[in-house]
Each structure stands twice: as structure tokens, then as C-alpha cells.
Amino acid sequence: MLAIDLQGRRALVAGVADDKGYGFAIAKALAEAGASVSVGTWPPTWNIFAKLIERGKLDRSRTMRDGRLLEFERIYPLDAAFDTLDDVPEDIRTNKRYRDVGDYTIAGLVSQWRRDFGDESLDIVVHSLANGPEVRNPLIETSRSGYLAALSVSAYSMVAMVRHLAPLMSSDGAFMALSYLAGQRVIPGYGGGMSSAKAALESDVRVLAHEAGRRYGLRVNCISAGPLASRAASAIGEIDRMVDYVARNTPLAESLRSDEVGQAAAFLCSSLASGITGTVLYVDKGYHAMGMPVDQSLL
């Protein structure tokens, strides 16, 4: 039987703060395939997430197919808007949600990872990070600062993570990012520069595949996933309508499940995908292929 086997592989999934989003589903799928998984969590939710796990509040969603519970090797505080502590503004540095969690920057995570696991100890990195403070604003009404903030966290952080983490990775390691169709098509309501950030992310994946491949032998891919009504996506404001619209107009005529994205990610990060890099894989029930609504009432 040909199976995804990640035994002996160590993974980091950046952008997991609860059990509802694609990041958690990917972490679970990697673990079910045998990988040891750590996560990076936004500092204001880092302690809350750790406590929920400790108190068994997430046991149901952590239960894997063989009955074991998903266990994280480490839960690191991570704010990927900052490469180093020198980049952190004073108001954030002194904020009570940040000041007691240690070095939560990308460089800080790398330093702690090296202390915890040593060099050449990382095989898989998943970028499940996105934030646009003005996501509910039409692009034409988005401020310069809001636009740049969306690009910083949602796209540039992938560049920074590859630069900082690649030296820690095994020679056949894999990076993977999460994108959305708004990087290629107009999605009304997905504003604040987030569509631009997704387009930049997909372009960066192609360039990074070349650069990290030639320099380190690493693969870099991306999944463009259909909409999911996660807690993070609720910031969009129209996420339920987006999910319903897509479900009514996909070739498979059903809603996308988070575990389907998780399984696709596990494949891309495995040796079964050793010949795939620089690719954007659509996991959206085929919605990206449609040119007009199937539901005629939507015309």
C-alpha cells in the first residue's frame, strides 16, 4: 500500500491558535502521518491555547483516527510581523499580552528551536499566517499602513521564515504556505490588501522554490484552499456567505472540510511529492475552475 509516511520527521506549523482553522487540521494530519509537530501561536492567544490543551478542552478535536491524542512537542509564541525584538514597537513590547512570553519574533523562535532540538532538526514548515487589520475595507478605501500590514504578516513573513529556518532544515525538507483564490480572482468583501497579499505570497512561493531549492535543496509549495468559517476568518465579516456560495457552485457541490486541506498538505510535505515544488495546489472542491455560477438564482 502506498501511504504517506512522515515517521521520524519534525514539523513546525506557524499560525495555530485554536482547533478550528486549517493550521490545526494540517498539524493533525502531519501527526497522523507520523510526524512530530510543534506550533507557533500568536502571543496574545499563546497562553490561552496552551491552557485549553492542558485542561482537556480540545481533546475531542485532538483525537486522531487511531484514538491517540494529537500532542505538540512545543507551543512557541510567535508574532511573524517581527524578525527580531529590535523591530517591535515599544507599545507592543510593553503590552501585558506580550511582555511575559519571551522572544516571540521569528529570530527568537529560531534560537529557541535550536536550543530545543539542535541543527538540521527541522523537516517541514507550514506557513498558516494571515492578518489584515482593514480586511473589511474595500481596497480603494484601504490605508497605506493597513495595506502594508497585510503584506507584512500574510506574505513577507513567508520570506522571513524561509530565510531564518532553512539553515535548520534537513536537505530534503519542505515549506508550505496557505493561500486563497482572492490572490487570482476578485472576491468582494476580502479587502484591506489581503487579496494583494495572497497574490504576493503565491509569487513568492515560486521564487523561493527556486532560491531555496538551489541553495538548500528544499521544496516550497502552496495550497489555495476554499473558504472556511474559522474563528480567524470571521474577521472578514461575510465568511458564512462565501462558504455557502462556494458550496453551491463547486463541481463537487459540497462544503470543503478542513481535514481535506490537512491531508493535501501532508502529501505535499511527504516524499511522495518529492518532484513537486513551486506549485499552487487548489483544494477547493474545484471551485477555481468555474467560470459562472451553477446556481442560476445567483445570476
pLDDT tens for residues 82-100?
999 999 999 999 999 998 8
Q: What's the whole-number mean pLDDT along residues 10-17?
A: 97
Is residue 287 among the annotated active site residues?
no
In a domain, 295, yes or no: no
CATH number for the domain harbouring residue 234: 3.40.50.720
Per the structure, the complete domain to which residue 101 belongs is given by 10-282
Residue 232's pLDDT band (boundaries 50, 70, 90)?
Answer: low
Is residue 190 among the annotated active site residues?
yes
In a domain, 5, yes or no: no
Which residue is catalytic, options 22, 156, 190, 287?
A: 190
In a domain, 298, yes or no: no
> Which range among 12-21, 130-139, 176-185, 226-235 shows the weakest confidence by mean pLDDT?
226-235
Residue 230's pLDDT band (boundaries 50, 70, 90)?
Answer: low
Cβ-based burial of 285 (10 A; exposed 0-12, middle 13-18, buried ≥19):
buried
Average pLDDT, the chain: 93
Confidence check: pLDDT of 274 > 90: yes
3-state secondary structure the chain: CCCCCCCCCEEEEECCCCCCCHHHHHHHHHHHCCCEEEEEECHHHHHHHHHHHHCCCCHHHHECCCCCECCEEEEEECCCCCCCHHHCCHHHHCCCCCCCCCCCCHHHHHHHHHHHHCCCCEEEEEECCCCCCCCCCCHHHCCHHHHHHHHHHHHHHHHHHHHHHHHHEEEEEEEEEEECHHHCCCCCCCCCCHHHHHHHHHHHHHHHHHHHHHHHCCEEEEEEECCCCCCHHHHHCCHHHHHHHHHHHCCCCCCCCHHHHHHHHHHHCCHHHCCCCCCEEEECCCHHHCCCCCCHHHC
Confidence check: pLDDT of 106 > 80: yes
Residue 233's pLDDT band (boundaries 50, 70, 90)?
Answer: low
pTM reported for the whole predicted model: 0.94
pLDDT in tens, 118-159: 999 999 999 999 999 999 999 999 999 999 999 999 999 999
Which residue is catalytic, options 180, 216, 245, 287?
A: 180
pLDDT in tens, 239-258: 777 888 888 899 998 889 99
Q: What percent of the chain has pLDDT over 90?
A: 86
Q: What's the whole-number mean pLDDT along residues 176-194?
A: 94
Q: What is the model's pLDDT at position 198?
A: 98
In a domain, 158, yes or no: yes
Domain count, the chain: 1
In a domain, 65, yes or no: yes
In a domain, 21, yes or no: yes
In a domain, 2, yes or no: no
Confidence check: pLDDT of 287 > 60: yes
In a domain, 194, yes or no: yes
